[in-house]
Homo-oligomer: A and B are copies of this chain.
Amino acid sequence: MLTESMEDYLEMIYRLNEEKGYVRAVDLAEALNVQPSSVTRMIQKLREEGLIQYEKYRHIALTDKGRRLGYFLVWRDTVLKEFLTLLNAKVGVEEQVEGIEHYITPPTMCLIRNLIMYFRAHPEGLEEVQAMSKLNKYPEG
């Protein structure tokens, strides 16, 4: 079980690796806006979990396990943002996803993905849901 912070680091390592083909500790510190010392500590933890390989002064490399999990983390983030955007959330999408993502299990993520696929196939249903926002006051569920 990774901590929220470990998940955020691994997600960013995966993103940077996709983007640039390699990941240096200094890039990670910059991308996450954290101190190099925090990166050093977290790299150590991710290595202990068998998610990355790292030798000092070399690039950070994802193991197979790290690559699979990193892919899931990016996917989870993307799907949740898409879900809130689809629902018509106007503000705080990034912040809400940043918090909730760590608590949602893979099976639930699949269900949310299914919901998105359903509304892609039924745009008239989505319009109906969005139109409810004009009618309903909170909370009278």
Contact = CB atoms under 8 A, between A and B. Distances in A.
Q: How many copies does the complex hold?
A: 2
Interface in A34-87: 71-72, 75-76, 78-79, 84, 87
How many chain A residues sit at the interface, stated as a range, is 35 or more
Interface stretch (A5-13, A15-23, A24-32, A121-129): A121-129
Contacts of A3: none
Those 7 A-B pairs whose CB atoms lie nearest each other, nearest first:
A99-B103, A114-B132, A87-B111, A100-B100, A113-B141, A75-B139, A100-B103
Interface of A: 71-72, 75-76, 78-79, 84, 87-92, 95-96, 98-100, 102-118, 122, 125, 128-130, 132-133, 136, 138-139, 141
